[in-house]
């Protein structure tokens, strides 16, 4: 179990108990971290508040990552909660319209293309920028985001989300370069298919699971808890010299040619 005693963490992306962000939050809480959470929309507010309460979360606030003003408010609230400092940022936020996760990528309309990239990729840039002064004051920090192999290879039905993940992957590297001189690390985790709320909207998701189980070297699925454990490593001091890196938690599937 990683030691997060005294660390202050802001977690974006918890929707329910199956969320990868929640699995990460549980690892942080078990290690002694102080936690703050955001939620998107009234529909999930009660669920997020209940989960946050179970780990003594100190702040639960709404955040629309498409709004720079909203992001500024959230990080100001986190700074006020944590004495002007922040050690950890978990970014587990992505969205694409359901109709764009089926059919042809070619048919993605312009406005929904930019919507997917705004929420799924640019939000990391905006949040990292807002976290920077809080982490600098803390003497450094660690940021982890969630990506997927569909940003590197064409995965049928992943479509515009794959393009968004490719943008996210590149953003991780450039953010790591910019923020490294302030001892702020930026990494990504590329997980195999995990049954989350977001995964349900991907056409053929169960087929993706079957293929991974058949062809991955370990021939088994991964769980949100597996991803949470990997994130705990990247967010901990044990990974103090790990940045600009993508850690694959997919039973080795990413290494296979076919």
Domain count for the chain: 1
Identify the pLDDT of residue 209. Answer: 76
At residue 212 the predicted structure's pLDDT band, cuts being 50, 70 and 90, is confident
* Residues 155-169: tens digit of each pLDDT: 989 999 999 999 999
Single out the catalytic residue among 39, 158, 248, 253.
158
Residue 258 lies in a domain: no
Average pLDDT along the chain: 95
Single out the catalytic residue among 39, 148, 248, 253.
148
- State pTM to two decimals: 0.95
Residue 255 lies in a domain: no
Residue 42 lies in a domain: yes
Residue 3 lies in a domain: no
Task: Say whether pLDDT at 201 is over 60.
Answer: no
Q: Is 253 a catalytic residue?
A: no
Bridge partners, residue 89, by sequence: 10, 143
CATH code for the domain in which residue 61 is found = 3.40.50.720
Task: Say whether pLDDT at 17 is over 80.
Answer: yes
Range of the domain at 56: 8-250
Residue 257 lies in a domain: no
Q: Which of 171, 232, 239 is nearest to 21 (CA)?
A: 232
Task: Say whether pLDDT at 205 is over 70.
Answer: no
Burial class (CB in 10 A: 0-12, 13-18, 19+), 200: exposed
% of residues, the chain, pLDDT over 70: 96
Residue 130 lies in a domain: yes
Identify the pLDDT of residue 244. Answer: 98
Structure tokens at 76: 């100001």
Residue 108 lies in a domain: yes
Q: Is 148 a catalytic residue?
A: yes
At residue 21 the predicted structure's pLDDT band, cuts being 50, 70 and 90, is very high
Residue 2 lies in a domain: no
Identify the pLDDT of residue 188. Answer: 98
């Amino acid at each position: 179990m990683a030691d997060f005693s005294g660390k202050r963490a802001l977690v974006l992306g918890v929707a329910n108990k199956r969320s990868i962000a929640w699995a990460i939050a549980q690892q942080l809480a078990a290690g002694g971290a102080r936690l703050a959470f955001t939620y998107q929309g009234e529909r999930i507010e009660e669920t997020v508040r209940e989960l946050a309460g179970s780990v003594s979360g100190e702040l639960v606030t709404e955040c629309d990552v498409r709004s720079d003003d909203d992001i500024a408010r959230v990080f100001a609230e986190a700074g006020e909660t944590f004495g002007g400092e922040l050690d950890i940022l978990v970014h587990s936020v992505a969205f694409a319209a359901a109709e764009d996760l089926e059919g042809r990528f070619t048919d993605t309309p312009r406005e929904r293309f930019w919507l997917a990239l705004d929420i799924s990729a640019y939000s990391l840039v905006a949040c990292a920028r807002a976290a920077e002064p809080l982490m600098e004051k803390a003497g450094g920090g660690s940021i982890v985001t969630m990506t997927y192999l569909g940003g590197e290879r064409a995965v049928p039905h992943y479509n515009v989300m794959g393009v968004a993940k490719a943008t996210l992957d590149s953003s991780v590297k450039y953010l790591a370069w910019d923020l490294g001189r302030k001892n702020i690390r930026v990494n990504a985790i590329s997980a195999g298919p995990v049954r989350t709320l977001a995964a349900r909207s991907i056409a053929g998701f169960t087929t993706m699971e079957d293929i991974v189980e058949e062809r991955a070297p370990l021939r088994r699925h991964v769980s949100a808890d597996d991803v949470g454990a990997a994130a705990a490593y990247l967010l901990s001091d044990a990974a103090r010299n790990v940045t600009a890196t993508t850690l694959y938690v997919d039973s080795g599937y990413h290494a296979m040619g076919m």
